[in-house]
Chains A and B, each alone.
Chain A
Amino acid sequence: MRRIPAEKIAHAVEELCFTAAYHLPGDVRDSLAAAAERELSPLGSSILSRLLENAEIASKKRLPICQDTGFAVFFVEIGEQVRIAGGDLTGAITEGTRRGYKKGYLRKSIVDDPLFNRVNTGDNTPPIIHLKIQPGDRLTITLAPKGGGSENMSAVRMLTPAEGRQGVIDFVVNTVVGAGGNTCPPTIVGVGIGGTFEKATLLAKEALLRPVSEKNPDKQYAELEEEILKGINASGVGPQGLGGVTTALAVHILSHPCHIASLPVAVNLNCHAARHASITL
Chain B
Amino acid sequence: MVKRVTTPLTDEVIQDLKAGDEILLSGTLYTARDAAHKRLCRLIEEGDPLPVDLTGQIIYFTGPSPPPPGRVIGSAGPTTSCRMDPYSPILIREAGLKGMIGKGNRSREVIEVMKEHGSVYFAAIGGAGALLSNHILESEIICYEELGPEAIRKLTVEDMPLIVAIDSSGNNLYESGPDMYKSVF
Asked if A and B bind, the verdict is: yes
Count CB-based A-B contacts (< 8 Å): 177
- Size category of the A interface is 35 or more
Contact between A236 and B103, CB atoms less than 8 A apart:
no
A156–B64 alpha-carbon span in the complex (Å): 30
Contact between B68 and A62, CB atoms less than 8 A apart:
yes
Contact between A67 and B74, CB atoms less than 8 A apart:
yes
Contact between A108 and B148, CB atoms less than 8 A apart:
yes
Interface string of A223-263 (1 = CB under 8 A from B): 00000001100111110111111000000000000000000
Contacts of B161 in A (CB 8 A): 50
A240–B128 alpha-carbon span in the complex (Å): 11
Contacts of A44 in B (CB 8 A): 181
Which one, A53-61, A131-139, A194-202, A205-213, is touching chain B? A53-61
Contacts of B22 in A (CB 8 A): 43, 46
Q: Chain A: which residue is nearest B73 at the CB level?
A: A67
Which one, A5-13, A85-93, A159-167, A179-187, is touching chain B? A179-187
Is A126's CB within 8 Å of the partner chain B? no
Contact between A182 and B129, CB atoms less than 8 A apart:
no
Contact between B79 and A236, CB atoms less than 8 A apart:
no
A238–B134 alpha-carbon span in the complex (Å): 25
Contacts of B185 in A (CB 8 A): 173, 230-231, 234-235
Q: Chain B: which residue is nearest A108 at the CB level?
A: B148
Contact between A64 and B103, CB atoms less than 8 A apart:
no
Cross-interface CB contact of A236 among B35, B66, B181, cutoff 8 Å? B181
A109–B128 alpha-carbon span in the complex (Å): 18
Is B99's CB within 8 Å of the partner chain A? no
Contact between A67 and B131, CB atoms less than 8 A apart:
no
Contact between A242 and B127, CB atoms less than 8 A apart:
no
Contact between B178 and A120, CB atoms less than 8 A apart:
no
Contact between B181 and A243, CB atoms less than 8 A apart:
yes
Is A83's CB within 8 Å of the partner chain B? no
A240–B130 alpha-carbon span in the complex (Å): 17
Q: How many residues of B contact A (CB 8 A)?
A: 50
Cross-interface CB contact of A67 among B77, B82, B125, B176, cutoff 8 Å? B77
Contact between B126 and A240, CB atoms less than 8 A apart:
yes
Could you tell me the distance in whole angstroms from the C-beta of A224 to the nearest C-beta in chain B? 14
A157–B105 alpha-carbon span in the complex (Å): 25
Could you tell me the distance in whole angstroms from the C-beta of A260 to the nearest C-beta in chain B? 31
Is A106's CB within 8 Å of the partner chain B? yes
Contacts of A53 in B (CB 8 A): 128, 131
Contact between A67 and B182, CB atoms less than 8 A apart:
no
Contact between B131 and A243, CB atoms less than 8 A apart:
no
Known A54-B127, A184-B126: A242·B77 in contact at CB below 8 Å = no
Is A47's CB within 8 Å of the partner chain B? yes
Could you tell me the distance in whole angstroms from the C-beta of A49 to the nearest C-beta in chain B? 10
Contact between B125 and A181, CB atoms less than 8 A apart:
no
Contacts of B64 in A (CB 8 A): 67, 107
Contact between A184 and B103, CB atoms less than 8 A apart:
yes
Interface string of B165-178 (1 = CB under 8 A from A): 10000000110111
Interface string of A93-136 (1 = CB under 8 A from B): 00000000000011111000000001010100000000000000
Given contacts A41-B180, A68-B63, A242-B173, 13 further A-B contacts (CB under 8 A): A40-B181, A54-B127, A58-B129, A67-B63, A107-B66, A107-B74, A107-B149, A108-B149, A181-B105, A182-B104, A234-B184, A244-B181, A272-B127
6 contacts between A and B (CB under 8 A): A54-B125, A63-B133, A149-B126, A181-B104, A241-B104, A243-B181
